[in-house]
């Protein structure tokens, strides 16, 4: 597997990542863990270390599948990315969603957190910026944004 530096973060990510949006699902719309977990583990065994998911993928159960799949591996060698839909929430709700995601993954931290569908209008409110800063300061987000100033540019 080839690895590349992820921007200015210093994180070394596999050239191929595993997108967990389209993992196998059951008829009820939740993730089929019996099929999904072996798929994720096979990717890791082949050298993938970057796994991407999001709050709403497979009705929130994609994050659970990823968390279950990575349990037997050295967590420090994996880079787990997820997303929070951010335009309609304030800082308190943002932080609550982050805590929910950590419980779904059954992890203490997320490596890379993206704001899903963020617009300039959604970016401006300061309460959300505080939520991002608190998440990073509490160690719940490892990178790539150690400072909310890097994550949240000034509104034009």
Provide the residue-wise pLDDT of the chain in tens; the chain has 156 residues.
999 988 777 889 999 999 999 999 999 999 999 999 999 999 999 999 999 999 999 999 999 999 999 999 999 999 999 988 876 666 778 778 888 999 999 998 888 888 777 666 666 555 555 555 555 555 556 654 444 343 434 444
pTM value is 0.80
Q: 34: which residues sit within 8 A by CB, 6+ positions away? A: none
What per-residue confidence (pLDDT) applies to 131? Answer: 57
Beta bridge partners of 79: 50
| Angle separating helix axes 126-137 and 91-105, nearest 10 degrees | 40
What per-residue confidence (pLDDT) applies to 116? Answer: 72
Where helices occur in 15-125 by DSSP H, the ranges are 33-45, 61-70, 91-105, 120-123
The widest CA-to-CA distance across the chain, in whole angstroms, is: 47
Q: Span 3-151: which CATH code? A: 3.20.20.100
Domain boundaries, the chain: 3-151
The catalytic residue positions are: 57
């Amino acid at each position: 597997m080839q690895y590349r530096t992820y921007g200015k973060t210093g994180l070394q990510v596999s050239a191929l990542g595993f997108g967990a949006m389209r993992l196998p699902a059951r008829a009820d719309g939740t993730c089929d863990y019996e099929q999904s977990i072996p798929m994720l583990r096979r990717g890791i065994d082949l050298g993938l270390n970057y796994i991407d998911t999001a709050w709403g993928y497979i009705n929130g159960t994609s994050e659970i599948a990823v968390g279950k799949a990575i349990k037997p591996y050295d967590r420090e060698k994996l880079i787990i990315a997820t997303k929070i839909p951010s335009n309609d929430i304030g800082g308190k709700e943002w932080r609550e969603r982050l805590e929910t995601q950590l419980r779904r993954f059954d992890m203490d931290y997320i490596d890379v957190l993206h704001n899903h569908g963020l617009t300039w209008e959604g970016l401006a409110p300061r309460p959300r910026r505080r939520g991002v800063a608190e998440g990073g300061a509490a160690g719940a987000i490892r990178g790539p944004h150690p400072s909310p100033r890097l994550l949240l540019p000034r509104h034009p």
